[in-house]
């Protein structure tokens, strides 16, 4: 199973914001788009990711200032860990667990085509395993039926 399969099943748009935005701007975009993360762009290039987890970090950075005065660049995660569509699902789950991240951008070349949550990957894996189990059960039933005929 490749990440391409998970991306196609998720169908979520990539939500973005500019590097010059404030944390308040980011929270507003996340709320409007019902998204738990967004990619921060500096010009045409991704500069980082801002997630619900980073809101807590922003609270500590703000020291009582309003979030409108906290630049997103101070609260975002700069190191962008990403998968590719060709990466295997299980290796991507392992990557997320090792890196202790819950959001994984998927890049096709330089383009970010999806941001997947760890739950997306786990749910997809469970769906595939459930389907495989059902096929195996039917195979065993058919095999058993053929042997008893």
Rounded Cα–Cα distance for residues 22 and 92 (Å): 31
* Lowest-pLDDT choice from 29-38, 56-65, 80-89: 56-65
Q: In this prediction, what percent of the chain has a pLDDT beyond 90?
A: 75
pLDDT, position 6: 92
- Domain architecture of the chain: domains with CATH: 3-118 (3.10.580.10)
Question: For residues 38-53, b (16+ Cβ closer than 10 Å) or e, as one string?
Answer: bbbbeeeebbbbbbeb
The pLDDT tens digits for 26-58 are 999 999 999 999 999 999 999 999 999 999 999
Joined together, the tokens standing for residue 104 give 């994984």
Q: Reply yes or no on whether the pLDDT at 138 is more than 80.
A: no
Cα–Cα distances (Å) from 118 to 26, 28, 48, 93, 137, in that order, read 21, 23, 18, 7, 29
Per-residue pLDDT band for 14 (boundaries 50, 70, 90) equals: very high
pLDDT, position 149: 64
Joined together, the tokens standing for residue 123 give 């749910």
| Cα–Cα nearest to 19, from 76, 82, 87, 85 | 76
Cα–Cα distances (Å) from 130 to 16, 94, 116, 144, in that order, read 34, 20, 21, 21
Q: Reply yes or no on whether the pLDDT at 23 is more than 80.
A: yes
pTM: 0.84
Average pLDDT of the segment spanning 8-13: 87
Q: Reply yes or no on whether the pLDDT at 137 is more than 80.
A: no
């Amino acid at each position: 199973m490749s990440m391409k399969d998970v991306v196609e099943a998720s169908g979520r748009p990539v939500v973005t914001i500019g590097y010059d935005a404030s944390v308040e701007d980011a929270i507003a975009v996340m709320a409007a788009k019902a998204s738990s993360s967004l990619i921060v762009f500096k010009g045409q290039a991704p500069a980082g990711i801002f997630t619900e987890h980073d809101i807590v970090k922003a609270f500590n950075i703000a020291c009582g200032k309003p979030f409108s005065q906290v630049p997103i660049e101070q609260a975002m995660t700069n190191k962008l860990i990403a998968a590719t569509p060709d990466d295997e699902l299980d290796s991507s789950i392992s990557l997320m667990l090792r890196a202790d991240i819950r959001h994984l951008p998927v890049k096709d070349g330089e383009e970010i085509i999806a941001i997947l949550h760890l739950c997306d990957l786990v749910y997809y894996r469970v769906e595939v395993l459930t389907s495989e189990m059902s096929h195996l059960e039917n195979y065993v039933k058919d095999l058993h039926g053929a042997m008893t005929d």
